[in-house]
């Protein structure tokens, strides 16, 4: 297929504007950083357009041109913003060098099917670019937090020392603060105490509800389902205010049990949804067969049904855990300061004192989440493999 | 069957733990609400830790003072007041007192006398605003500027905020009319004594907003005390208003290139209230705490940790050195004569009458 696709050099009227458009896009960021967005757009477009033309029509030698461009932009970046600018500039040089010759030599056409129209080729690559950009904008805010958490200053600022990669600009003091500060440690303890209990309750009740609701003979199934799912749909602040007044009257406001119950109520819908989805593929004749052989319903559940729906139960439990672990609105209402959880502490910390300790905590939480999700995914694959559901 | 057993055992364990954990230590715990950050830390050092050591009462910090009024209303409505002592600004204390959400305190019988026997009412003097409010500190909202961004002529008076020619760049101001309106009129040529008379009129309010409009494009509006220090440290703004204690921390403790502009600083009071609706034991303990925490020595102790002036006259001579840095704190106090040459005192009466009206106009002006 590759051999069939004709590759030929393209005309400047095609690649110069495309490269200029990319130049304009990146120019937005550089221009905004330097104080003039429009200047950045125009400057980026013109500069890159001219470079594209010069490299392909005057310099011609691809290897030399690309190295030259990388070097040139690295020096330019260094002049504008010092050492970090050097790296950013070198990256831009590498990228634009690649882009210019990729377009000019027609290489972009090589990997796509030969029968595609130009419009389809354009869509093929814009779709990829768009996906890449969405990915970038989702991840960037999380990534940017990580280096800032090693800041030696007490502000959310990239200091000149940090930008020079001077070790003096970096420090672990915010991590030390997190591990030694009582307020943070109490919050961690509360979170680690509330979330697992709430998860356990959500999983138990949610699984039972899902199994019950999947029986065809249960009356008003849809109505009951809708009511049980409602905490997920009703705006959180409304649930929270309602719970606050109700729990106050029955003496649960400001107690651990109150917060656990509230979080369990929020977690149950997730468990119901995931378990119901797994139950769709469950063959009810298995439970009948077990009953036929003398197993009582409890034994049937734990030995036959539970192992088969376990992946759904575990992922539901994971969602329930994360709901409780991340939740700030309900706990602000239902809890009192004695039940201050990690998100609550982060919330007040962010409002009252902008301290990078929050960033250190965020970084730790991101790593914990990654580990948690990886473990669950590995477990899921393992159980699938053991039951022969996947071929690997 | 292993899974079953593990699940059951862990359920039983966690539920049991839950029961054990929650059957309250209410008797020996009290919840004190404050502002968080360095301010709560100073209270922890000066009041909470010594009080806990003396009485064995465990103190839980709740950093919810920013929404104290609304939360106390909700607690009162739900009949479940979980806070024992609340730190609020004087204007909030007046509102809570009017609504019957804070209990009235008699300073002479329920607060400690000064060491020389002076009655508390005399020791606090004019700062006892309202019947429920026990003053703790005097703080001010004032302006800090980046020393490296103002050129060779650093600003000396408040009107530098409005002078974008001499000091180009963004400035941060609080997202509320109080303070900003007074500064705007002062810099628009209104005599200081006539400012509140002018602000009481439509034309005066419009005049202040017009003056603010001249810099509207250059203003970053803040709502949390931590915002301006962050913006100044970042160099995002060239100058900005915030609480003087925050600026002290920024300049002295964090060594940022920032200086204070004490001119036209706006004094305000912060202090304690005790909510109504507490059980008699909890109320007695709250009163005991407040009596301890607002005595002459304790108020002076707090100023070792933060640059806010103690509310008692008898505490002023006891103000010493910073607990960690060892520098004299007196010269960093907003009340120091050198800093207090030109000041405003938050006009409680005026703003009680006009706040809703001017707030609405200010917010409408902001979105225009």
Q: List chain B domain ranges.
A: 2-132+274-327, 141-267+338-367
pLDDT of residue B9: 55
Handedness of CA A80, A86, A92, A96 (dihedral sign): positive
Helix (H) or strand (E) holding B144: strand B134-146
For chain A, what is the largest distance between any 2 Cα atoms, rounded to a whole number of angstroms? Answer: 87
Choice between A320 and B9, residue whose per-residue pLDDT is larger: A320
pLDDT at A28 over 50: yes
d(CA A111, CA A122): 13
Choice between A244 and A348, residue whose per-residue pLDDT is larger: A244
pLDDT at B201 over 80: yes
CATH of B141-267+338-367, one of 3.30.70.20, 3.40.50.12780, 3.40.190.10, 3.40.50.1100: 3.40.190.10
pLDDT at B255 over 90: no
d(CA A100, CA A92): 12
In this structure, whether the domain defined by B2-132+274-327 belongs to CATH 3.40.190.10 is answered with yes
Angle between helices A342-352 and A182-213 (to 10 degrees): 130
Q: What is the mean pLDDT of residues A128-145?
A: 90
Q: What is the mean pLDDT of residues A61-90?
A: 86
Distances (CA, A) of A176 to A162, A191, A361: 19, 19, 11
pLDDT of residue B6: 55
Q: What is the mean pLDDT of residues A170-178?
A: 91
Window A:255-294, CB contacts with B under 8 Å:
255-257, 260
The per-residue pLDDT for range B138-164, each reduced to its tens digit, is: 999 999 999 998 888 899 899 999 999
Q: Is A185 on the interface with B (CB under 8 A)?
A: no
Among chain B residues, the shortest Cα distance to A158 is held by: B234
Q: What percent of chain A has pLDDT over 70?
A: 97
Nearest Cα residue to B283 out of B102, B51, B97: B102
pLDDT of residue B24: 41
Q: Is there a contact between B288 and B84 (Cβ–Cβ < 8 Å)? A: no
Does pTM top 0.80 for this prediction? no
pLDDT at B337 over 90: no
The per-residue pLDDT for range A77-124, each reduced to its tens digit, is: 888 877 888 888 899 899 988 888 888 888 888 777 878 888 888 898
pLDDT of residue B11: 52
Q: What is the mean pLDDT of residues B328-344?
A: 85
Q: pLDDT tier at B8 (50, 70, 90 boundaries)?
A: low
The size of chain B, in residues, is 368
pLDDT at B258 over 90: yes
Cross-chain residue pair B36–A352, CB shorter than 8 Å: yes
pLDDT of residue B278: 93
Which residue in A196, A256, A348 is closest to B63 by CB distance?
A348
pLDDT of residue B325: 83
Angle between helices A306-326 and A256-280 (to 10 degrees): 140
Q: pLDDT tier at B23 (50, 70, 90 boundaries)?
A: very low
pLDDT at B25 over 70: no
A313: distance to nearest CA of chain B, Å? Answer: 13
The per-residue pLDDT for range B34-43, each reduced to its tens digit, is: 988 778 889 9
d(CA A314, CA A299): 20
Choice between B15 and A232, residue whose per-residue pLDDT is larger: A232
Q: Is there a contact between A55 and A65 (Cβ–Cβ < 8 Å)? A: yes
Nearest Cα residue to B226 out of B90, B71, B36: B36
Q: Is there a contact between A297 and A215 (Cβ–Cβ < 8 Å)? A: no
d(CA B65, CA B47): 17
For CATH 1.10.3720.10, the residue range(s) in chain A are 181-354
Q: pLDDT tier at A29 (50, 70, 90 boundaries)?
A: confident
Q: DSSP label at A215?
A: S
| Contact residues, chain B to chain A, C-beta under 8 Å | 1, 3-4, 10-11, 14-15, 17-18, 21-22, 24, 29, 31, 33, 35-38, 60-64, 66, 74-75, 77-80, 82, 224-227, 229-230, 233-234, 254
Please name the residues in contact with A54: beta carbons below 8 A apart, sequence gap of 6 or more. Answer: none
pLDDT of residue A56: 84
- The label of the residue with tokens 């060491």 reads B115
Cross-chain residue pair B78–A303, CB shorter than 8 Å: no
Q: DSSP label at A151?
A: B
pLDDT of residue A391: 46
Choice between B293 and A12, residue whose per-residue pLDDT is larger: B293
pLDDT of residue A1: 44
pLDDT at A271 over 70: yes
Q: Is there a contact between B69 and B96 (Cβ–Cβ < 8 Å)? A: yes
Among chain B residues, the shortest Cα distance to A301 is held by: B4
pLDDT at A308 over 70: yes
The first and second tokens of residue A58, run together, are 């005057």
Q: pLDDT tier at B85 (50, 70, 90 boundaries)?
A: very high
A354: distance to nearest CA of chain B, Å? Answer: 6
Could you give the dihedral angle defined by the CA atoms of residues A76, A82, A88 and A94, in that order, rounded to the nearest 10 degrees?
40
- Mean residue pLDDT of chain B comes to 87
pLDDT at A389 over 80: no
Which residue in B1, B22, B78 is closest to A257 by CB distance?
B22
Strand runs labelled E in chain B: 29-33, 58-62, 85-89, 134-146, 171-174, 219-222, 239-243, 258-273, 309-310, 343-345
Give B259-293 as a DSSP string.
Answer: EEEEEEEEEEEEEEE-BSS--HHHHHHHHHHHHHH
Give the lowest-confidence range in A26-40, A119-133, B73-87.
Answer: A26-40
Q: pLDDT tier at A3 (50, 70, 90 boundaries)?
A: low
Q: What is the mean pLDDT of residues A126-136?
A: 92
Among chain B residues, the shortest Cα distance to A154 is held by: B254
Q: What is the mean pLDDT of residues A190-211?
A: 95
Interface test with A, best of B29, B74, B226, B229 (most A CBs within 10 A): B226
Cross-chain residue pair A156–B234, CB shorter than 8 Å: yes
Q: pLDDT tier at B5 (50, 70, 90 boundaries)?
A: low
Task: Identify the CATH number of the domain defined by range A181-354.
Answer: 1.10.3720.10
d(CA A78, CA A90): 9
The first and second tokens of residue B37, run together, are 């950050």
Window A:346-385, CB contacts with B under 8 Å:
348-349, 351-354
Q: pLDDT tier at A168 (50, 70, 90 boundaries)?
A: confident
Give the lowest-confidence range in A256-260, A262-266, B34-38, B310-314.
Answer: B34-38
Q: In sequence order, what are the beta bridge partners of B60?
A: B31
Q: pLDDT tier at A187 (50, 70, 90 boundaries)?
A: very high
Which residue in B62, B227, B230 is closest to A337 by CB distance?
B62
């Amino acid at each position: 297929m590759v051999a069939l696709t004709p590759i030929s050099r393209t005309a400047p009227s095609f690649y110069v504007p495309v490269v200029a458009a990319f130049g304009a896009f990146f120019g937005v960021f550089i221009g905004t950083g330097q104080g003039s967005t429009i200047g950045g757009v125009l400057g980026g477009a013109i500069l890159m357009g001219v470079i594209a033309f010069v490299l392909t029509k005057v310099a011609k030698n691809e290897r030399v041109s690309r190295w030259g461009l990388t070097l040139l932009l690295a020096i330019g970046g260094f002049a504008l913003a010092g050492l970090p600018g050097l790296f950013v500039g070198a990256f831009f040089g590498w990228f634009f060098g690649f882009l210019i010759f990729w377009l000019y030599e027609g290489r972009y056409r090589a990997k796509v099917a030969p029968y595609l129209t130009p419009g389809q080729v354009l869509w093929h690559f814009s779709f990829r670019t768009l996906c890449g950009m969405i990915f970038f904008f989702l991840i960037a805010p999380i990534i940017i937090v990580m280096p800032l958490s090693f800041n030696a200053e007490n502000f959310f600022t990239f200091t000149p020392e940090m930008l020079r990669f001077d070790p003096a600009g970096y420090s672990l003091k915010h991590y030390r603060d997190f591990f030694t500060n009582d307020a943070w440690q109490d919050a961690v303890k509360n979170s680690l105490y509330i979330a697992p209990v709430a998860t356990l309750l959500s999983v138990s009740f949610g699984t039972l509800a899902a199994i019950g609701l999947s029986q065809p003979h249960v009356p008003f199934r849809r109505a009951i389902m809708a009511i049980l799912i409602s905490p997920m749909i009703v705006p959180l602040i409304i649930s929270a205010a309602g719970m606050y007044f109700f729990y106050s009257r029955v003496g649960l406001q400001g107690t651990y049990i109150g917060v656990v119950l509230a979080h369990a109520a929020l977690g149950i819908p997730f468990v119901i949804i995931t378990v119901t989805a797994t139950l769709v593929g469950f063959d009810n004749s298995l439970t009948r067969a077990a009953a036929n052989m003398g197993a009582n319903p409890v034994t049937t559940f734990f030995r036959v049904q539970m192992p088969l729906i376990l992946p759904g139960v575990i992922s539901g439990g994971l969602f329930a855990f994360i709901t409780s672990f991340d939740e700030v609105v309900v706990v602000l209402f239902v809890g009192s300061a004695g039940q201050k959880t990690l998100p609550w502490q982060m919330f007040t910390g962010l409002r009252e004192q902008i301290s990078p300790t929050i960033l250190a905590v965020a970084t730790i939480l991101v790593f914990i989440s990654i580990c948690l999700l990886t473990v669950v995914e590995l477990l899921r694959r393992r159980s699938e493999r053991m039951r022969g559901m996947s071929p690997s | 069957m292993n899974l079953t057993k593990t699940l059951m055992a862990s359920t039983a364990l966690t539920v049991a733990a839950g029961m054990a954990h929650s059957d309250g230590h209410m008797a020996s715990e009290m919840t004190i609400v404050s502002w968080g950050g360095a301010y709560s830390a100073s209270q922890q050092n000066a009041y909470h830790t010594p009080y806990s050591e003396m009485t064995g009462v465990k103190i839980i910090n709740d950093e919810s003072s920013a929404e104290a009024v609304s939360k106390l209303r909700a607690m009162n409505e739900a009949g479940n007041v979980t806070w024992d002592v609340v730190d609020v600004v004087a204007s909030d204390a007046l509102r809570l007192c009017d609504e019957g959400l804070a209990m009235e305190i008699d300073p002479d019988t329920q607060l400690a006398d000064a060491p020389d026997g002076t009655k508390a009412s005399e020791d606090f003097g004019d700062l006892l605003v309202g019947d429920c409010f026990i003053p703790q500190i005097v703080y001010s909202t004032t302006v800090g500027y980046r020393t490296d961004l103002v050129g060779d002529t650093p600003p000396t008076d408040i009107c530098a905020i409005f002078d974008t020619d001499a000091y180009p760049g963004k400035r941060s101001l609080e997202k509320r009319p109080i303070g900003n309106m007074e500064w705007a009129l002062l810099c628009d040529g209104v005599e200081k004594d006539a400012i509140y008379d002018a602000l009481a009129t439509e034309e005066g309010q419009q005049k202040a907003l017009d003056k603010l409009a001249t810099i509207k494009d250059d203003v970053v509006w803040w709502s949390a005390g931590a915002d301006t220090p962050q913006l100044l440290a970042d160099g995002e703004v060239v100058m900005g208003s915030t609480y003087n204690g925050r600026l002290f921390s920024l300049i002295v403790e964090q060594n940022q290139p920032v200086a204070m502009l004490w001119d036209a600083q706006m004094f305000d009071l912060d202090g304690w209230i005790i909510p109504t609706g507490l059980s008699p034991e909890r109320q007695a303990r709250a009163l005991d705490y407040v009596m301890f925490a607002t005595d002459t020595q304790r108020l002076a102790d707090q100023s070792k940790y933060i640059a806010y002036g103690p509310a008692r006259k008898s505490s002023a001579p006891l103000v010493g050195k910073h607990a960690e840095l060892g520098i004299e704190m007196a010269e960093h106090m907003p009340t120091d004569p050198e800093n207090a040459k030109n000041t405003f005192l938050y006009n409680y009466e005026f703003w009680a009458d006009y706040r809703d009206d001017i707030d609405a106009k200010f917010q409408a002006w902001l979105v225009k």
